Amino acid sequence: MPTPKLTDEILTAAILGFEEQKRHIDTRIAELRAIQTGASAEETAAPKAPKQRRRKMSAAGRKAIAEAQRKRWAVKKAADGTTHHQVSKPKRKLSAAGRKAIIAATKKRWALKHAEDAKTK
């Protein structure tokens, strides 16, 4: 009788099944410990799911991906045919008469404010 090949799907299913059995056994052990110590089963249970490791990428791999993305953007921008440089507006200047008018108005407002403060004291 030939042995079936172990595919990734079969192995993954087996691992998941065994992990579920392990969780079930852990909860049973926690219940027994709770009975032994007199604590509640919820306090001693709480098995945590195993954390999956994050995949790490080398600096060279990140650099290659970034370079490829820059290349794709360059092709896209060249296809558009437009550059999105913002034309700067000339800086606005305040005339001497305008500046004097602002100063005079500010002084008038402060004089009124100080006069109100003097009345309330």
Residue 66 lies in a domain: no
Residue 121 lies in a domain: no
Q: Which domain holds residue 36?
A: 7-49
pTM: 0.30
Model pLDDT, residue 109: 97
Residue 111 lies in a domain: no
Rounded Cα distance between 97 and 17, Å, is 85
pLDDT tens digits for range 68-108: 999 999 998 888 876 666 778 888 899 999 999 999 999 99
Q: Per-residue pLDDT for 3 more than 70?
A: no
Residue 43 lies in a domain: yes
For the chain, the domain total comes to: 1
Give the up-direction half-sphere exposure of residue 51: CA atoms within 13 A in the CB hemisphere. Answer: 3
Model pLDDT, residue 38: 77
If pLDDT is split at 50, 70 and 90, which confidence band does 21 have? very high
Mean pLDDT of 4-18: 84
